[in-house]
Structure 1
Amino acid sequence: MADKAREDDAISAVVERLTDLFSATHGPAEVQAAVAKAHASFTGRRVREFVPVLVERKARALLSKSSG
């Protein structure tokens, strides 16, 4: 349970960082959706330690691609 809470906190931090980074081109809802999509792609993976880092990279790529 502690691992889930830690991961959730890390994902929330990813949303905050990317919301700030992409504020000129994407609204908070778009950032949240990109992070949720990226996070969902790791559902069922056994090793969870690096999921927040991988989610951030994937969401960043999705948002960069859609900004132009």
Structure 2
Amino acid sequence: MDRSEENRAIDEVIDRLAQQFPQLPADDVAAAVNETRPEFDHAPIRDFIPLFIERDAKARLRELVG
């Protein structure tokens, strides 16, 4: 997966999470995703990065909503 495909997939993650957490502002959802991204910057295999980011961001968002 090249970086442009990865960025598109991460944009889709933000959209999915915004739908799953409608009680949160879209900016908070995007922030949770963007805070998670640097954890995977140096991963050599990129194919599953969007999945890992979604999983971690979802956990952060669940904490926000209690």
Q: How large is the Cα RMSD of the aligned pairs?
A: 1.0
Question: 1:44 pairs with 24, 37, 42, which one?
Answer: 42
Find the aligned partners of 2:51 and 2:7 in 1 and give their Cα distance: 12
Task: Indicate yes or no: 2:33 matched with 1:57.
Answer: no
Q: What amino acid is aligned across from residue 9 of structure 1 in structure 2?
A: R
Find the aligned partners of 1:36 and 1:47 in 2 and give their Cα distance: 19
Runs of 4+ in 1 over 2 A off after TM superposition: none
Q: Count the aligned residue pairs.
A: 66
Question: What percentage of aligned pairs have identical amino acids?
Answer: 33
TM-score where L is the length of structure 1: 0.91
Q: Secondary structure at the match of 1:41?
A: helix
TM-score where L is the length of structure 2: 0.94
Find the aligned partners of 2:63 and 2:47 in 1 and give their Cα distance: 26
Gaps of 5+ in 2: none
Gaps of 5+ in 1: none
Find the aligned partners of 2:10 and 2:28 in 1 and give their Cα distance: 15
